[in-house]
């Protein structure tokens, strides 16, 4: 039995202002934890539950105890939980009792700490069916007479935290009666006649966490009515915190019981409008948020279009009533808020909500908003009228996404001139919002590739547009950032422009030059010009992506410019960690631009030379960036290498020796999984371009890939990519891949097994998405192997795998909803098999089921898949027919 040890001094020292004292104490604490875990727990619990001890050390004892039970990192958390699980039951009981008793003891903030620890213990114990009397003990606190407000408050907090913990565990841990009792206690605490506001607040907060368990209670009309009544009454409680918490409860209720809402919408509308119009800003924000949440829900419903899920179309109904309320809030801007990136107030929240209403109600919003826009956008009689102009512009910008382009086209066309002129508005916030709105106009209304809609930006209108945007780049930094974004959207809209020359071509060079200048602008008025730099580079990227053939020469000229820019970063001062980080970030952005440039040029055969003339310089630069290694740069440089390989083709071979160490490092970087993932992808790029020249490295590469595939440390998103890369390598190595074949076959059959099992167990969308990624990886791997080995070899080496693959195809065919990419890859693989393996027909006929046929039929019936798969369908049919 672990005996508690006196830890008060230790804990107080751990909070000492003297760093030396502090770190010594922390060291001792962790030694104690390591050497005598039970004693450590007992001592902390004793400290926490001892009235005689100082509140400071008691509170810290509670927090340290909590940290021995929980961690952010999942694997660490599991470790801690297992350790608690193995503690002697008597000691565990002793600690549980200490925690419960602490709830009864002053002061309140130690009660609060105890509530936090209790929930963590409950999170481990309840799923194991330990601590059965926890809930009843807590409920006893609620019904004790005479009532003690502090105890009730701490108990309600505990109930809320316990529900929060239970919600994160998928299993149904709490019995229905327990949930019932918890809810009864919580809702009782929310009554308007609850004497303690703190307790009522704790109850309302607890309900937020308990709502998701209240399914049964929400099915019962009288219980539902009662809960809703308590929540709505809370929205007019005298304590602002309770009003805020009540609206948060409404968000949760809407998210969980949307279908049950109709009866309450009238009242909810009334209290929310009242809150928006009359209450404090913090309450008003939550009220607006309720409508935003409802939009999210209805957008999801419309998106999923599941007939089993009812859509009440509350938003369409509320638009005429809610829009005027929100429009009024738009004029409540804070002075100078445009300078503050994360400004959040009623004006911002209402504009955001308006945008969501537009996406949900679509065309219906236009008529509700446009009168406000036209009336106010030109107002300029008093000094304060900028508020009206900004609000009108914000409202207009907000409704650009959602309504059909048709319903907006004419309005937008007429507004263009006005918006361009407003870029010279005397008030910077109006210019800021105008720039944002122009960007949105381009994003949603400008698509030169779409012939269904009349062109918004033509060769006639573009000169003025370009002139205004270029001017805007010189405006205040926050406005220039928005202008960069608008330029990006403008360019994007020309991406689909067919032909040698787009209307953007005449301005291409000038815009890029101005963006380059903007990127290097150091603006004393704005401390942080990084934002502008990032946005300017991204606008250049968009310009390059959209470049039409007649501007590729200009794109080619950018290569040395950006190589130069990267070279300059090596002269930056890098004394502090922060400075190094900044350097790395800038290198990342520059490598990003280089990547986009090289990719664009490599797409056109004759412009590969524009990259190749700097080949050595490019590679030297990228290697230098690698040498400067931090995660983000490493990845961007790696992606740039990937793009570079397409310009080089087989010539890339000469850079392999110097690149290889970094390639290897990337493949081994399991912590930064994005880096690893990108490296795997780039390995594929390299293999396609250098082909068999990769051979000398392949033994080690294959070892690393196979290791990654089997490792739990490796992020799961990487694994499908690795399988695809097996296919890449098999495809280019041909016979030389044979020596890896046995291992790869084994990996693939394991992966198929896993995928088939996953497909059988019903799972959430995330899970299905991952399984589809995995399937694509498997299918691409096999296609590469079959085609890489070619007819004779594939027949010899792979024929034994064919029945497994057909079962795998069957498993895909049984999907309720088929994924286009998976099906296309699968049908093509079947085609590959029938092409290079002899007598597949009988195997197909003898398969346990012929769900694979559904895949063929799916492609045959689908207009867009047929083109890519027709050959395979025919190959399979031929094979089957020959078996007849």
Partner 1 sequence: MSRRAAAKEGSSSAYTSFQQKRRAQALDRQKNAREDKVQQLRTLALAAIQDDAEAMHEDTQQQPQNRQQQRHRRRGQQQQQQQELPQDTQLYGMDGVNPLQLGGSMMKAYFARQLMQPEWMSDIPQDLGSSWLVMPRPEGKRCLVISTGNYTYARSRTGALLLRFPSKLPGGGPGTSGGESCYCVLDCILQEQEQRIQHQHNQQQQQQRVGMDADMAPAGESTPSQPQQHSANGSSSSSSSGGCTFFIQDVLAWRGYSLVDCGAEFRLFWLASKLQEEAGGSSSSSSWSLDGGNPGPSHSHRFKLLPYWHATPDGLAAAARAGAAAAAAAAAAAGGCPGYVQDGVYLRHVEGHYSQGGGCTPLALLWKDAGCSRYLLDTDGDGVVPEFQQLVLAYQGPPTDGVATADEPPVVLGRLPQEFVQQMGPKLLRPGRLLRFSIRAGGLLFNADGSPAGADLAYEGPANQRRGRADVYTKVLFQWQARRQPLQLEALLAAAVAEQQQQGAGQQQGSSMADD
Q: Which of residues 691-730 bind partner 1 (CB under 8 A)?
A: 691-692, 724, 727-728
Closest listed residue to residue 396, CA positions, set 421, 369, 435, 436 = 369
Under rule CB under 8 A, how many of the chain's residues touch partner 1? Answer: 77
473 or 731: CB nearest partner 1: 731
Q: Is 792 in the site for partner 1 (CB under 8 A)?
A: yes
Tell me which stretch binds partner 1 (CB under 8 A): 536-544, 706-714, 762-770, 809-817. 536-544
Which residues, 6+ apart, have CB-to-CB distance to 178 below 8 Å? 135
Q: Write out the binding residues for partner 1, residues 372-431 only, by CB under 8 A.
A: none
Nearest to 865 by CA among 826, 834, 820, 822: 820
Residues 591-610 that bind partner 1 (CB under 8 A): 592, 595-596, 599
Residue with tokens 């010279």: 424
Separate counts of helices (H) and strands (E) for the chain: 42, 0
Query: Considering the complex, what minimum distance in angstroms separates the CB of residue 592 from partner 1?
Result: 5
Phi, psi of 753 (to 5 degrees): -60, -50
Examine residue 535 and tell whether it contacts partner 1 (CB under 8 A): yes
639 binds partner 1 (CB under 8 A): yes
CB 544 within 8 A of CB 596: yes
Answer yes or no whether residue 584 interacts with partner 1 by CB under 8 A. no
- Pick the binder of partner 1 from 318, 831, 847, 856 (CB under 8 A): 831
305 contributes a contact to partner 1 by CB under 8 A = no
Torsion angles phi and psi, residue 551, rounded to 5: -115, 5
CA distances from 250 to 54, 161, 200, 204, 319 (A): 40, 19, 16, 11, 19
User: Smallest distance from the beta carbon of 81 to partner 1, in angstroms?
Assistant: 29
636 binds partner 1 (CB under 8 A): yes
Nearest one of 342, 324, 343, 319 to 333, comparing CA atoms: 343
Q: Is 534 in the site for partner 1 (CB under 8 A)?
A: yes
User: Minimum distance from CB of 283 to partner 1 (Å)?
Assistant: 15
Give the C-alpha distances (Å, rounded to integers) separating 361 from 299, 303, 316, 317, 326: 9, 13, 5, 9, 15
- The answer to whether the CB of 365 falls within 8 A of the CB of 319 is yes
Only one of the segments 552-560, 609-617, 642-650, 846-854 lies at the binding site for partner 1 (rule: CB under 8 A); that segment is: 642-650
Q: Which of 390, 485, 773, 819 binds partner 1 (CB under 8 A)?
A: 485
Element (DSSP H or E) covering residue 519: helix 505-519
Residue 666, interface with partner 1 (CB under 8 A)?
no
What Cα–Cα distance (Å) separates residue 385 from each residue in 327, 347, 380, 390, 789?
15, 15, 5, 9, 74
Between 420 and 480, name the residue whose CB sits nearer to partner 1.
Answer: 480
Q: Does 125 bind partner 1 (CB under 8 A)?
A: no
CA atoms of 481 and 533, how far apart (whole Å): 8
Give the nearest distance from C-beta 514 to partner 1 in angstroms: 19
By C-beta, is 192 or 791 nearer to partner 1?
791
- Asked if 784 is part of the footprint of partner 1 (rule: CB under 8 A), the reply reads yes
| Residue closer to partner 1 (CB basis): 411 or 680 | 680
582 lies in the site for partner 1, by CB under 8 A: no
Quick one: which segment of 107-115, 420-428, 616-624, 633-641 binds partner 1 (CB under 8 A)? 633-641
Angle CA 184–189–193, to nearest 5: 125
| DSSP code string of 559-614 | HHHHHHHHHHHTTS---SHHHHHHHHHHHHHHHHHHHHHHHHHHTSGGGHHHHHTT
Please, how many CA atoms are within 13 Å of residue 387, restricted to the half-sphere of its CB?
A: 13
Tell which one of 157, 773, 780, 815 touches partner 1 (CB under 8 A): 780
**674 contributes a contact to partner 1 by CB under 8 A:** yes
CA atoms within a 13 Å half-sphere pointing along the CA-CB vector of 312: 17
Residue 493 binds to partner 1 (criterion: CB under 8 A)? no
Q: Which is nearer to partner 1, 152 or 482 (CB)?
A: 482
Looking at residues 841 to 880 of the shown chain, list those that interact with partner 1 (rule: CB under 8 A).
870-871, 873-875, 877-880
Site for partner 1 in 351-380 (CB under 8 A): 351-352
Reading phi first (left if > 0) and then psi (alpha if -120 to 50, else beta), residue 4 is in beta
- For partner 1, the closer CB: 69 or 544: 544
CB-CB contact of 42 with 91 (8 Å): yes
In the 8-state DSSP scheme, what is residue 528? -
The smaller minimum CB distance to partner 1, of residues 64 and 879, is found at: 879
Residue closest to 275 by CA, chosen among 312, 250, 298, 255: 250
**Cβ 476 to partner 1 shortest distance, Å:** 15
Eight-state DSSP code of residue 458: -
Stretch of 78-86, 107-115, 457-465, 832-840 lying at the interface with partner 1 (CB under 8 A): 832-840
Question: Least distance (Å) from partner 1 to the CB of residue 736?
Answer: 11
Counting contacts by CB under 8 A, is residue 526 touching partner 1?
no
- The reply on whether position 209 binds partner 1 by CB under 8 A is no
Classify 51 in phi/psi space as left (phi over 0), alpha (psi -120 to 50) or beta.
alpha
684 touches partner 1 (CB under 8 A)? yes
343: left (phi over 0), alpha (psi -120 to 50) or beta: beta
Residue in this structure with the two tokens 């915190």, named with its chain if needed: 241
734 binds partner 1 (CB under 8 A): yes
> Of 147 and 734, which has the nearer Cβ to partner 1?
734
Q: Residue 221, interface with partner 1 (CB under 8 A)?
A: no
User: Using the rule CB under 8 A, is 688 a contact of partner 1?
Assistant: yes
Stretch that binds partner 1, among 362-370, 416-424, 583-591, 801-809 (CB under 8 A): 583-591
Does the protein bind partner 1 through residue 252 (CB under 8 A)?
no
Tokens of 771: 């399984």
Contacting partner 1 within 333-352 (CB under 8 A): 341-342, 344, 348-349, 351-352
Q: Is 681 in the site for partner 1 (CB under 8 A)?
A: yes
Q: Does 583 bind partner 1 (CB under 8 A)?
A: no
* 678 interacts with partner 1 by CB under 8 A: yes
Task: Indicate whether 8 belongs to the interface with partner 1 (CB under 8 A).
Answer: no
């Amino acid at each position: 039995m672990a005996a508690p040890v006196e830890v008060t001094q230790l804990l107080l020292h751990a909070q000492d202002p003297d760093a030396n004292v502090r770190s010594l104490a922390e060291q001792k604490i962790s030694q104690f934890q390591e050497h005598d875990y039970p004693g450590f727990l007992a001592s902390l619990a004793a400290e926490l539950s001892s009235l005689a001890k100082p509140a400071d050390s008691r509170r810290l004892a509670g927090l340290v105890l909590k940290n021995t039970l929980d961690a952010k990192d999942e694997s660490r958390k599991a470790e801690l939980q297992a350790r608690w699980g193995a503690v002697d039951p008597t000691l565990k009981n002793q600690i549980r009792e200490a925690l419960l008793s602490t709830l009864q003891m002053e002061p309140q903030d130690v009660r609060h700490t105890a509530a936090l620890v209790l929930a963590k213990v409950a999170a481990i114990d309840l799923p194991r069916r330990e601590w059965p009397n926890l809930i009843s003990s807590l409920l006893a606190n609620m019904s004790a007479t005479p009532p003690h407000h502090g105890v009730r408050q701490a108990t309600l907090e505990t109930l809320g935290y316990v529900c929060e913990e239970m919600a994160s565990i998928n299993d149904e841990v709490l019995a229905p009666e327990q949930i019932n009792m918890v809810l009864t206690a919580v809702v009782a605490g929310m009554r308007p006649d609850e004497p303690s506001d703190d307790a009522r607040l704790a109850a309302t907060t607890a309900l937020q966490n308990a709502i998701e368990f209240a399914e049964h209670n929400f099915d019962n009309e009288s219980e539902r009515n009662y809960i809703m009544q308590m929540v709505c009454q809370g929205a007019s409680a005298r304590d602002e915190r309770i009003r805020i918490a009540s609206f948060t409860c409404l968000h949760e209720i809407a998210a969980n019981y949307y279908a049950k809402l109709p009866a309450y919408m009238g009242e909810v509308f009334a209290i929310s409008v009242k809150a928006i119009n009359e209450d404090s800003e913090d309450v008003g924000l939550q009220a607006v948020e309720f409508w935003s949440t409802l939009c999210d829900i209805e957008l999801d419903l419309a998106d999923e279009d599941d007939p089993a899920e009812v859509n009440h179309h509350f938003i369409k109904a509320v638009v005429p009533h809610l829009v005027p309320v929100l429009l009024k809030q738009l004029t409540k801007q804070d002075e100078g808020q445009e300078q503050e990136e994360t400004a959040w107030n009623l004006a911002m929240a209402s504009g955001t909500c308006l945008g969501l209403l537009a996406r949900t109600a679509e065309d219906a919003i236009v008529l509700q908003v446009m009168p406000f826009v036209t009336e106010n956008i030109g107002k300029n009689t008093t000094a304060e009228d900028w508020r009206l102009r900004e609000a009108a512009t914000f409202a207009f910008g907000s409704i650009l996404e959602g309504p059909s382009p048709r319903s907006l086209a004419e309005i937008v066309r007429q507004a263009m001139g006005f918006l361009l002129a407003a870029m010279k508005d005397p008030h910077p916030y109006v210019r800021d919002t105008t720039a944002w709105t122009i960007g949105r106009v381009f994003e949603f209304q400008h698509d030169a590739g779409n012939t269904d809609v009349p062109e918004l930006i033509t060769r006639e209108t573009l000169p003025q547009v370009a002139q205004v945007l270029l001017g805007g780049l010189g405006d205040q930094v926050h406005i220039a950032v928005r202008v960069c974004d608008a330029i990006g959207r403008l360019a994007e809209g020309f991406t689909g422009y067919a032909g040698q020359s787009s209307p953007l071509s005449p301005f291409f060079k000038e815009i890029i030059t101005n963006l380059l200048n903007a990127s290097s602008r150091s603006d004393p008025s704005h401390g942080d010009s990084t934002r502008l730099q990032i946005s300017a580079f991204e606008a250049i990227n968009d310009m390059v992506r959209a470049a039409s053939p007649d501007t590729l020469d200009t794109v080619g000229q950018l290569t040395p410019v950006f190589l130069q820019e990267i070279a300059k970063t090596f002269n930056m001062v890098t004394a502090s960690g922060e400075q190094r980080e900044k350097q790395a970030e800038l290198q990342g952005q520059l490598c990003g631009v280089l990547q986009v440039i090289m990719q664009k040029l490599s797409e056109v055969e004759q412009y590969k030379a524009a990259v190749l003339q700097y080949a050595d310089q490019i590679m030297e630069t990228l290697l230098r960036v690698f040498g400067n290694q931090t995660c983000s740069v490493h990845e961007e440089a790696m992606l740039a290498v990937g793009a570079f390989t397409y310009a080089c083709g087989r010539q890339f071979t000469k850079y392999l020796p110097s690149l290889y160490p970094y390639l290897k490092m990337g493949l081994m970087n399991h912590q930064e999984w994005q880096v690893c993932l990108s490296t795997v992808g780039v390995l594929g790029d390299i293999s396609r371009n250098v082909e068999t020249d990769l051979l000398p490295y392949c033994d080690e590469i294959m070892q690393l890939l196979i290791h990654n595939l089997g490792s739990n440390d490796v992020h799961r998103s990487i694994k499908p990519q690795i399988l695809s890369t097996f296919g890449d390598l098999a495809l280019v190595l041909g016979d030389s891949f044979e020596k890896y074949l046995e291992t790869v076959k084994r990996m693939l059959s394991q992966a198929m097994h896993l995928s088939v099992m996953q497909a059988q167990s019903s799972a959430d969308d995330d899970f299905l998405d991952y399984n589809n990624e995995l399937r694509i990886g498997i299918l691409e791997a096999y296609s590469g192997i079959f085609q890489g080995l070619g007819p004779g070899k594939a027949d010899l080496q792979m024929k034994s795998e064919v029945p497994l693959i057909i079962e795998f195809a069957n498993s895909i065919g049984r999907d309720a909803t088929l994924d286009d990419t998976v099906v296309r890859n699968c049908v093509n693989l079947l085609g590959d098999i029938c092409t290079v393996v002899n007598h597949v027909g009988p195997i197909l006929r003898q398969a346990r089921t012929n769900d694979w046929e559904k895949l063929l039929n799916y492609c045959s019936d689908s207009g867009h898949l047929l083109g890519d798969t027709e050959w395979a369908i025919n190959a399979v049919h031929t094979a089957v027919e020959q078996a007849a």
